[in-house]
Amino acid sequence: MKHDFLTFSFKIFTLFLIIFLLLSYNINVFGDDIEIDENVYTQLDDSSIATSSNKNSNNLNLNARSCVVFDRVSKQVIYGKNEYNKVKMASTTKIMTATIVLEKMNLNKTIEVSKKAANTGGSRLGLKTGDKITILDLLYGLMLCSGNDAAVALAECTAGSVQDFSVLMNEKALELGLTNSHFESPHGLDSDEHYTTAYELAKLSDYALKNKMFAQIVGTQNHTITLNGQPKNLSNTNELLGNLNGVYGIKTGFTNGANRCLVTACKRGKMDIICVVLGCDTKNFRTQDSKKLIEYTFENFEYVNIEELILKKFENWKSENSNYISINKSSNNNIELSICKLENPIIPLNKEIINNIDFIINVEKFLDAPINQGDVVGNISVFSNSINICNTNVIVNNYISKKNSIDYLYLFFKDYYNILSNYNNFL
């Protein structure tokens, strides 16, 4: 009897030990979106969201170590906190991974999963060595359930190895101007030389979403793929997708080094933004921080055609000041001025400052001929509450030549004729 009790106790102890080791494995081996916080929940709590009675961005009380709200129309930062700091980004890395695969590979191609891919730890699609799956289904596994195994499989079939695929990632980063980003893997497991910034991650996401297939994948809540000819159901780890008005993507992330991360694309009406939160302590914090930033943006900002406002102000300025521009040694004093077209004429502005915009127009009053079409002769700066909103140049629309000898001879005889005429009239 005593022997049976000891045997039973040993089995129970062994079971608990196995469970403990499994949990430890998930915690220590990068469990992207594997829940490790006892009090973490994904329910969206509106009580901590900024409302019209709390419009000050300083009152957002964010947990994220770094974050940014990036406007997709103007390519401007609406809100930022340490947005240019280099940080780990966990599985938001897979935004770059998917982008490269989509641009280089035939999505209908079926591949065989390698042992290396199948043995990749952390969050997984559940691949085994020798599995057959299409590249498109791997992409769904990559972006919906954040499969690290899918990431390695995609890297190998695209570039031959993880290392060679990382070269492609860094080449793409340079192409996109992401000078503070560096990639060492397709999945984002912690590495000292694997990093980005909230701002550059937003820029990358903006680029990636221009690909229709990418946008379709990250905007999908549930999807059925085919693995070895059998259906497999996937669910998106993005807790805001389908739960917050206007959200249409894009990617979650978690590692011990990066903490909780979330990149969200959201569009309401004409306003289209990307919100990035990095380094949150819990999943709940990343959810609430993302909601706070999104609601704050849509509550307090609206698009303004700043180019139209500048043109209107400049036309008024020209009607009052054009006659005071003097052109030395010119054959024609009739100068035509305009402003350079803005790269982003429509920008988001805080509603409270839209009616409090100042325009500073500086144009040279004394010019020397010749003047070529397109020459810059001034600039216009736009401010609100002493904050520079945008700048543009004032340019010349017409060519103004310098006087030559014939012009001077003509003026000489013209003046001489006027003198004689005046003398005769006097007599």
pLDDT, residue 420, reads: 61
Whether residue 348 is contained in a domain is answered as yes
Which of 280, 295, 324 is the last residue in one of the domains? Answer: 280
CATH number at residue 270: 3.40.710.10
Please determine, for residue 55, whether its predicted confidence score (pLDDT) is greater than 80: no
**Tokens standing for 243?**
């739960």
For the stretch 141-170, pLDDT in tens is 999 999 999 999 999 999 999 999 999 999
HEC secondary structure over 187-255: CCCCCCCCEECHHHHHHHHHHHCCCHHHHHHHCCCEEEEEECCEEEEEECCCCCCCCCCCEEEEEEEEE
Give the sign of the dihedral formed by CA 330, CA 331, CA 334, CA 337: negative
pTM: 0.81
Residue 261 and residue 349 in one domain: no
Let me know whether 220 and 158 are in one domain.
yes
pLDDT at residue 326 in the model: 86
Region 45-73: what's the mean pLDDT?
71
Question: Does some domain include residue 204?
Answer: yes
Task: Output 12 or 109, whichever has higher pLDDT.
Answer: 109
**Residue 400 pLDDT grade (very low, low, confident, very high; cuts 50, 70, 90):** confident
The confidence band for 386, taking pLDDT boundaries of 50, 70 and 90, is confident
Q: Is the domain of 133 the same as that of 229?
A: yes
Count structural domains, the chain: 2
pLDDT in tens, 22-52: 444 333 334 455 544 333 334 444 433 333 3
pLDDT-derived band of residue 426, with 50, 70 and 90 as boundaries?
low
Based on the fold, state whether residues 126 and 241 are members of the same structural domain: yes
Q: Would residue 426 count as lying in a domain?
A: no
SS3 158: helix
The answer to whether residues 212 and 99 touch, using CB atoms and an 8 Å cutoff, is no
- Output the CA torsion 280→286→289→291 (10° steps): 170
The residue among 415 and 42 whose pLDDT is bigger is: 415
* 34 occurs within a structural domain: no
115 and 174 part of one domain: yes
Sign of CA dihedral 107, 262, 67, 180: negative
Identify which of 147, 145, 163 has the alpha carbon closest to the alpha carbon of residue 155.
163
Q: Which amino acid would we find at residue 317? A: W
Domain assignment present for 113 = yes
**Which residues form the catalytic set?**
91, 94, 146
Lowest mean pLDDT among 2-6, 61-65, 278-282, 389-393: 2-6
Q: Are residues 246 and 323 in the same domain?
A: no
The reply to whether 205 falls in a domain is yes
What CATH number corresponds to the domain at position 337?
Answer: 2.60.410.10
Identify whether residues 313 and 272 lie together within a single domain: no
Q: Calculate mean pLDDT across residues 125-149.
A: 98
For residue 87, being part of any structural domain is answered with yes
Please report, rounded to a whole number, the percentage of residues in the chain having pLDDT higher than 90.
71
Pair (253, 363) in one structural domain: no
**Does 206 share its domain with 85?**
yes
Structure tokens belonging to residue 203: 């820029």
**DSSP-derived pairing of the beta strands 259-268 and 271-280:** antiparallel
22 located within any domain: no
Residues 229 and 344 in one domain: no
Q: Are 240 and 343 within one domain?
A: no
Residues 113 and 247 in one domain: yes
Contact 102, 65 (CB under 8 A): no
Kindly report, residue by residue over 227-283, the tens digit of the pLDDT.
999 999 999 999 999 999 999 999 999 999 999 999 999 999 999 999 999 999 999
Structural domain including 276 reads: 64-280
